[in-house]
Amino acid sequence: MAILVAGGAGYIGAHVVRMLQQRGERVVVVDDLSTGEATRIGEAKLVKMDIADQSSVAVLTRVMFDEDVTAVIHFAARKQVGESMEKPTWYYQQNVGGLANMLQSMQEADVKQMIFSSSAAVYGMPPTQIVQEDVQKHPINPYGETKLIGEWMMADCERAWGLKWIGLRYFNVAGAGWDDLADPAVLNLVPMVLDRLARGQRPKIFGTDYPTPDGTCIRDYIHIMDLADAHLHALDLVAADAKLPHNVFNVGTGEGTSVREIVDGIAIVSGLAFEAEEQGRRPGDPPQLIGDTTRINTDLGWEAKNGVKEILESAWQAWQAGPRQIDVTDFHME
């Protein structure tokens, strides 16, 4: 028996792969290595392929039969909001097409358990302060649209051939569980701040005039290890014989933290003295996005164990263990 992890060499996928291995599961990783690295998956078997290519169905189906796959955890997707606005059709091809190929292969190989990486981006600009899963969803970019369509596709497969699935709607993921699995991309607030500091530049704050207590945007930051752990809880629930009470779950903490608090927190954990550079608003940013976690607490018996302090400490430690270490004793800004 094996778990197939699509996108298992990426930031989140590799954390889940290692956690699965630590509890003794056999893991097969499918990844195109476009952003992931083969060194991150340990002993797992790697099948290097682009699942969005139509030819992938035959290969995936064969892998599922040969490796006796019982469940799929599907991370493989493009995830840059701005890029999705510029290349919408490519996002549909990659995210929707890739998932369609995976689901078709699962049907052919009779694999009926699926955990899917969804996103808080399905909510767009939610009408409530703290967002519940059942609120109306109006994604405001193709990235969020592809994630919502992914949820619909799995619901359709559930009706058609009995797929058992859970979609986890991630809020703002950050931190590292192991230094060698740190987020290699510089696309989100925490790595963007660290990247600027490593260049001797002042980190940027996009917008200080939002209707929030300190004027900067508020997000729900979730530690990568808590997020990874949520996947194991979800996997165990779909593997159990019971009927699922719900299919989609917010994965957050229910707590909000402002951009300024994150930037100040990085100054504290790093010991670096710096002032952020205040800029205008970044288009498309909702002022506040916090997930109601009641459903995942109740149905999956999961809750986040780490807060922002642990997130920032682990991100800083992993950054300093990596190739672009910041010299704390000789730190100066441009």
| Residues within the interface to ligand UFG (CB under 6 A) | 79, 81, 119-121, 143-144, 172, 188-189, 192, 204-206, 217, 219, 259, 282, 285, 289
Nearest residue to 78 (alpha-carbon basis) of 124, 125, 30, 146: 146
Please give the Cα distance from 25 to 133 (Å, whole number).
30
Q: Is 22 exposed, middle or buried (0-12, 13-18, 19+ CB in 10 A)?
A: exposed
Q: From the CB of 118, what's the least distance to ligand UFG, in Å?
A: 10
Q: From the CB of 29, what's the least distance to ligand UFG, in Å?
A: 22
Please give the Cα distance from 18 to 114 (Å, whole number).
18
* Three-state DSSP class for residue 291: strand
Q: From the CB of 28, what's the least distance to ligand UFG, in Å?
A: 26
Q: Which two tokens stand for residue 25?
A: 């599961």
Q: Is 11 a catalytic residue?
A: no
Residue 144 near residue 109 (C-beta atoms within 8 A): no
Q: From the CB of 293, what's the least distance to ligand UFG, in Å?
A: 15
Helical spans, DSSP H, in 199-244: 224-239
Of the pair 24, 283, the CB lying nearest ligand UFG is at: 283
Q: Which of 143, 170, 210, 221 is catalytic?
A: 143
Of the pair 46, 85, the CB lying nearest ligand UFG is at: 85
Classify residue 300 as left (phi > 0), alpha (psi -120 to 50) or beta.
alpha
Residue 240 near residue 186 (C-beta atoms within 8 A): no
Which residues belong to the active site? 143
